[in-house]
Amino acid sequence: MRLWFQRMASFLRADDADTASVRAILRTAALRSASIGVGTLDGVALPSPLSGHVEDLEEGPAGALVISRPHDGPARRELVAGESLHLSIAADSGFHHGDVEVIGRWTAGLGAMKRYGYRVTIPAALVHEERRSLHRVPVAFDLAPRARLCRPISLAELGEGTVVDVSEGGLCLRVALSGLIRPEEHVVVRADFPAFFPTIHAEVAVAHVIPARKPGHSDIGLRFLEPQVELGRAIRQLELRRVNRAGAA
């Protein structure tokens, strides 16, 4: 895997042509608080909110990438300064991955708001892999939030239903359609969640439309056209709450 990555990094130059392009990708990831995956150099760990997220990109020659990671959790271990890692970063489509070295620990905030993580080196190269990797949160756990679809311009209603799952990249609805929609068509969605989740009201692209098990309903995959930063943060907080509840049980 290590040799494969080195060869791919030298061959594929779409995302990693130079340091500037790498930093541009990392700035976007920090702005979106993109989920990460942390693994050894002989493998790739898919990004998940439970693994942490990109917190910041420090500028300057001595700059570093700051990754925030939960203080504890399943199979959590401390990272050691000087340790080499394979870092995966969620993107709109697939993920970027590259090699980094741990510089040291990082903390921010106080008390219950304290965040933990590490400063790592800027990857020399990032390779983009087209793979669905954004962590999806099933929503049936919390009173399945209601959602409505309508046309972008006329606002004519297309159907109403419930949210099945949600991720930083999109969401899936189970809807009784009152009109025809096709893949790649743009529609407007409004989904109202519990208080700790932000309301989603955005124009989205239809990724797929398939018959649902519930008669008269369709499962509709929707892809966000713009980053949903607050949603990403809420997903991570929800996952950590679930982990804490499971640990206390």
Reported as a single tens digit per residue, the pLDDT across 78-109 is: 888 999 988 988 877 678 888 999 999 998 87
Per CATH, the number for 137-233 is 2.40.10.220
Amino acid at position 2, single letter: R
Domain ranges of the chain: 2-129, 137-233
Residue 24, helix vs strand vs coil: helix
**Is 90 exceeded by the pLDDT of residue 71?**
no
Phi (first) and psi of residue 150, to 5 degrees = -150, 165
pTM over 0.75? The answer is: no
**Is 50 exceeded by the pLDDT of residue 149?**
yes
Q: Structure tokens of 187?
A: 């529609």
Phi (first) and psi of residue 248, to 5 degrees = -85, -15
Would residue 246 be called left, alpha or beta, if left means φ above 0 and alpha means ψ between -120 and 50 degrees? alpha
The more confident residue out of 206 and 16 is 206
Q: How many Å apart are CA 46 and CA 159, to the nearest integer?
A: 34
Spatial CB neighbours of 47, under 8 Å, sequence gap ≥ 6? 34, 35, 36, 37, 88, 89, 90, 95, 133, 134, 135
Residue 82 burial (C-beta neighbours within 10 Å; 0-12, 13-18, 19+)? exposed
Question: 11: pLDDT confidence band, cut at 50, 70 and 90?
Answer: very low
Average pLDDT across the chain, whole number? 77
- 164 CB neighbour count, 10 Å cutoff: 21
Q: What is the DSSP letter of 249?
A: -
Average pLDDT of 20-35?
Answer: 86
The whole-number pLDDT of residue 184 equals 82
On whether the CB atoms of residues 63 and 57 are closer than 8 A, the answer is yes
pLDDT above 90 as % of the chain: 18
Query: pLDDT tens across 189-243, in order?
Result: 998 877 667 888 999 988 888 888 788 898 898 888 887 778 877 776 766 665 5
Q: What is the DSSP string of 42-69?
A: TS-PPPEEEEEEEEEE--STT--EEEE-
Phi (first) and psi of residue 163, to 5 degrees = -85, 125
Return the closest-CA partner of residue 43 out of 87, 93, 81.
87
CATH of 2-129, one of 2.30.230, 3.30.565, 2.60.40, 2.30.110: 2.30.110
The whole-number pLDDT of residue 192 equals 85
Query: pLDDT tens across 111-138, in order?
Result: 766 778 899 999 988 887 765 445 566 5
On whether the CB atoms of residues 170 and 224 are closer than 8 A, the answer is yes
Phi (first) and psi of residue 136, to 5 degrees = -100, 135
